[in-house]
Structure 1
Amino acid sequence: MSTTRRITAAALAAVVAMTALAACGGADEDAKTVTLVSHDSFNVSKTVLAAFEKESGYKVRVLKGGDAGKAVNQAILSKDHPQGDVFFGIDNTLLSRGLKEGIFSPYKAKGLAGVPAGLQLDKGKHRVTPLDYGDICVNYDRAYFARHKIAPPRTFDDLVKPEYKGLLVTENSATSSPGLAFQLGTIAKYGTDGWLRYWKKLKANGVEVVDGWYQAYNERFSGSAAGKAKGDRPLVVSYASSPPAEVPGKKPQPRQAPTGVATGTCFRQIEFGGLLKGARNEKGGKALLDFLLSRKFQEDMPLTMFVNPALKDAKEPALFTKYGATIPKPATVPPETIAENREQWIKQWSSLVLK
């Protein structure tokens, strides 16, 4: 979530700072505290987390390390002295890298039998646990397209048309898992011989690239209500489940969310959690993984992180299902194909798009 992932001095400083923070405190504190390392989008309701802390006796410390790609880089850099006990947020686009680097210790989480087999990409070895899934898709600002009397795009082919010139912002494939997922979606669509030609057209059509999802969605996208500064890009690479995030607080509730999904631009993403090898609090880490796969946490995820729970019996809130988009056939790339080609694909993408 490699040689193509260039770690800046700032990222290295963040690793040192986070590792130092994780090391603070004596043995007694370590025994009572379990540390979760994740990306910036991790969230959980205070009441749900408090219930786990009360039941388990552990205090949860959350360390966030930027977008998923950056957080995975940091976990690899610090694998000899892990920042915490559990990592949340490595996905199927980056999973093989984390497994190859050996950053996880095997653990079969309670409740795993309730996760569909299609999400269990490390089945049998249990180095990671599937925790959620979602579809990475282009989102659009309905008001912008209504105001300009332009139909919003629906497919990858649409995005390179003149009427959408200068409207799309996406994330950097080398630092962001949504960005990499979007790139993989174009590879699934146009094949290994055609995706670079497609990106040449997309670049010529004015696509903007930023480091991570938060910057793309909350700073550059015009449809984000959470954005402190109103962006001027009405198209953004985000999730099929992002539109429900724009609805809470609106009274009366609208007929549809103010943002929509280009359903022909979607790639399936699966997120995992794992016990970090060398964890100071292995027992607490196992308890935390069990909690992350519990119904209480899984049913909290849709309206805190706006992703689909991995647990098949977890109920999704009505607001989430009403305003989110269902993608019956999202694009996919086999995990082994991603593992074999990811670094070269990122290098090719970077050489073309970031020039």
Structure 2
Amino acid sequence: MDRRRFLAGAGAAGAALLAGCSADEVESPTESATDSPGTTTTGTTVGGTGGGTLVVATYSSFIDAVSSSPGGWLKQQFESEFDADLVYQTPPNELDQYIQRANAGVDIDADVYVGLNVDGLIRLDENLESGSLFAEAPDLPGQSDIKEGLGFDPQGRAVPYDTGYISLVWNATADDGEFVAPETFDGLLESEYRGDLLAQNPSSSATGRAFLLHTIKARGEENYLDYWSQLQENDVRVLGSWGDSYSAYGEGEAPMVVSYSTDQVYANRSDQDMDRHQIRFLNDQAYANPEGMAQFASTDSPDLAQSFMEFVLQPEVQAEIAVRNVQFPAITDAEFGEENAEYEQYAQVPPEAVSFTYDELRGNLQGWIEEWSRQIASN
């Protein structure tokens, strides 16, 4: 599990100590999507029935996180603008459920998927045995306003709708108020920061994976393992999930944690001490983790699916999704309004966003993670 998954199960009291949310993929499916050709998807279905129904598949905390979720608001607003009902499907295995159903020849009764990322698309393309799970995206008004660099699907199926940035969160009250986080990746290796960093395992955590990829960007494919060896010598603590590491950070076990640059949004909402929620962009960068939506190729409501995707890219809808999902809008002209002034104040955008493309990751990502696991996690 990772960020929003952790919050959804943490309970209100625990969530007050935690930062903003993300739609990180579940890495290891625990249930089979199909038992027989007639088996339907498992999980939560939320919504009504009517003359026209749009079924949107997504991750569960998109609609029911402890803190805030965009799903309920999207349903209400979409249904008020269109003569249709919006129904959510949240199978426990998320995207993997639909890959398994497609491979088993079982009908998919959903129209749009919300919550795709580049890792999921690579997993889809490497495991789908035949055909296409998603259709090429239609031309959408507002698509030209998507920020440069957020597109992650060379086949044009996924349309970005928000993004997060992986950064360090650090505690300026540590060491009796003397602690200051380093400004560069090189700085993390200095002896004064021995034992001060909490990170996550990239094989089980989306934030950990993003941080690993950022180190590869910064040091190169030939040198990233040497860098991690030096981090290890400096007593970096690598935990299994974002929830594990952020809880340890909240308990004061270390003054720095790999997290999100929206951390101060939740700190402000829960009246936390902002000095304990400082943001550091190493090398003046952060790793971008965009999320996308796509239309199922088998939908029998392509026009309604297209209307939903157009709706999601509207400037005021983009702002509301960003605020409720504690991410950043995908488009350049989102309309936040005065009611969201605090969000704009505390959600920090890096001077430079970095990421690998789909083509750069496919064929490399799993190998990088396996190499890291053999050399770092096994020691």
Match of 2:286 in 1: 266
1:55 maps to 81
Identity of matched residues, % = 22
1:218-233 equivalences under 5 Å are: 219-222=247-250, 230=251, 232-233=253-254
CA distance in 1, matches of 2:306, 2:73: 21
SS in structure 2 at match of 1:333: coil
Q: Give distance in 1, aligned partners of 2:229 and 2:289.
A: 25
Q: Match of 2:66?
A: none
Distance 1:128 1:205, change over 3 A: same
- The CA distance in 1 between the partners of 2:236 and 2:34, in whole Å, is 34
- Please tell me whether the aligned partners of residues 302 and 320 of structure 1 are also in contact (alpha carbons under 8 angstroms): no
Residue by residue over 1:4-42, the C-alpha shift from the partner in whole angstroms, topping out at 9 and shown as x without a partner, is: x9975xx332746995336989xx689635132237467
Which residue of 154, 157, 168 corresponds with 2:197?
168
Q: Which residue of 1 is the match for residue 334 of structure 2?
A: 314
Match of 1:177 in 2: 206
* 1:71 positional shift: 4.4
In the alignment, structure 1 segments of 5+ residues that lack a partner are 223-229
Q: CA deviation at 1:200?
A: 1.4
- Residue 215 (structure 2) aligned to one of 186, 189, 200: 186
Distance (whole Å) between structure 1 residues aligned to residue 50 and residue 245 of structure 2: 38
CA RMSD of the aligned region, Å? 3.7
Number of residue pairs matched by the alignment: 332
Q: Distance in 1 between matches of 2:26 and 2:317?
A: 34
- Give 1:114-133 correspondences, 5 Å limit: 114-122=145-153, 125-133=155-163
* 2:315 partner amino acid: R
Q: Deviations over 1:291-343 (max 9, x none)?
A: 32222321113322222111211034322332233312233334322223112
1:311/1:183 CA distance change after superposition, 3 Å: same
Q: CA deviation digits over 1:336-355, x for unaligned, max 9?
A: 22223112111111222321
Matched, 1:106 2:136: yes
Q: Who is 1:246 aligned against?
A: 267
The Cα offsets for residues 190-224 of structure 1, whole Å up to 9 and x where unpaired, read as 1111100111122333333344334433x3331xx
Q: Counterpart amino acid of 1:21? A: T
Distance change in 2, residues 1:284/1:215 (3 Å): farther
The equivalent of 1:87 in structure 2 is 113
2:224 is the alignment partner of 1:208: no
Report the AA paired with residue 264 of structure 2: P
Aligned residue for 1:52, secondary structure, equals helix
Amino acid across the alignment from 1:338 = L
**Code of the aligned partner of 1:90:** L
Q: Aligned pair 1:344/2:367, yes or no?
A: yes
In the alignment, the residues of structure 1 paired with residue 96 and residue 374 of structure 2 have an alpha-carbon distance, to the nearest angstrom, of 20
Q: Distance between the aligned counterparts of 1:128 and 1:336, measured in 2?
A: 15
Asked whether the 8 Å contact 1:221–1:232 carries over to 2, the reply is yes
* Contact 1:155–1:262 under 8 Å retained in 2: no
Shift of the 117–209 alpha-carbon distance from structure 1 to 2, 3 Å rule, reads same
Unmatched segments (≥5 aa) in structure 2? 2-24, 64-68
1:185 Cα offset (Å): 0.5
1:115–1:130 CA contact under 8 A, matched in 2: yes
Q: For residues 164 and 62 of structure 1, do their structure 2 counterparts lie closer, same or farther at Cα, with a shift above 3 Å needed?
A: farther
In the alignment, is the contact (CA less than 8 A) between 1:103 and 1:277 conserved in 2?
Answer: yes
Distance (Å, rounded) in 2 between the aligned partners of 1:90 and 1:158: 34
- 2:56 is matched with 35
1:284 Cα offset (Å)? 4.8
Q: Is the 8 A contact 1:131 1:271 kept in 2?
A: yes
Matches of 1:148 and 1:258, distance apart in 2: 10
Alignment of 1:151-162 (within 5 A): 151-162=180-191
Does the Cα contact within 8 Å between 1:58 and 1:284 map onto a contact in 2?
no
Match of 2:258 in 1: 237
Q: Secondary structure at the match of 2:253?
A: coil
Give 3-state SS (helix, strand or coil) of 1:34's partner. strand
Give the one of 143, 151, 172 matched to 1:142: 172
Q: Deviations over 1:34-88 (max 9, x none)?
A: 13223746721744431213333213325275xxxx7454553444445843322
In the alignment, is the contact (CA less than 8 A) between 1:94 and 1:177 conserved in 2?
no
User: Matched residues in 1 for 2:79 and 2:26: separation?
Assistant: 37
Report the TM-score when normalising by structure 1: 0.78
Deviation readout 1:119-150 (Å, 9 max, x if unpaired): 33446x4311011223211211333x253622
Give me the whole-angstrom Cα distance separating, in 1, the residues matched to 2:96 and 2:171: 32
Question: 2 CA distance for matches of 1:19 and 1:173?
Answer: 32
The 10-residue stretch of structure 1 (345-354 or 233-242) with the greater mean CA deviation from structure 2: 233-242
SS of aligned partner of 2:220: helix
